Chain A
Amino acid sequence: QVQLVESGGGVVQPGGSLRLACEASSFTFSSFDMHWVRQAPGKGPEWVSFIRSDGTTKYYPDALKGRFTISRDNSRNTVYLHMNNLRSEDTAVYYCAKHFYASGSYALDIWGQGTMVTVSS
């Protein structure tokens, strides 16, 4: 079935870096835009980044620009999130999600199981 599997989470010290990966299966990955969304413990989801299917266009919230970078490798059916200069407030479960555009609305219809990132000394 359609599936997204994240990996790469773990414990990192403040100021450190981490690269998350999300591998897709059972759909034509190269045809779909993708997102990363995070969720801090006890909080709601927070959108982190978006990348077009061909990798040419990327979006980030202003608060994360410059520290987070999204990329993808369509030959590997994988989207990545590179995170630099990590802070305690970046501690969260990080999800990748498939973009779903229907009736003019941008939505996220398939989500991975998430990978936990803990920023702590």
Chain B
Amino acid sequence: DIQMTQSPSSLSASVGDSVTITCRASQTISKYLNWYQQKPGKAPNLLIYAASTLQSGVPSRFSGSGSGTDFTLTISSLQPEDFATYYCQQGSSPGATFGGGTRVEMK
């Protein structure tokens, strides 16, 4: 099974900051990596698919990059509504393995 490792597990940032989250796959998954945002008590919400394509309605301050085994999610100017937990998910097979998550907290 493909394992997904995210770092950091948490970070503190201020409104307006740029933040970057990384995700590493245990084997190559080409560009088949998706990112989700989850807020407390809610289901995850798809932000980015295929490493860099924004899901409809997602603000352009979110961006993704990477291929192979190493991927990043960047939020260019953090907004109050962006404080949440972010998960990567490998999309190379129907078995949707998720990373452990990165909690973005207010500094």
Contact = CB atoms under 8 A, between A and B. Distances in A.
A100 B44 CA distance: 14
B30 A104 contact: yes
Interface in B23-51: 30-34, 36, 38, 43-46, 49-51
Interface residues of B, number: 30
A40 interface: no
Q: Please classify the interface of chain B as helix (H, G, I), strand (E, B), loop, or mixed, using the class held by over half of its residues.
A: loop
Contacts, number: 80
User: Residue among B30, B33, B44, B94 with the most chain A CB within 10 A?
Assistant: B94
Contacts of A12: none
Contact of B32 (A46, A104, A109): A104
Interface of B: 1, 30-34, 36, 38, 43-46, 49-51, 53, 55, 87, 89, 91-101
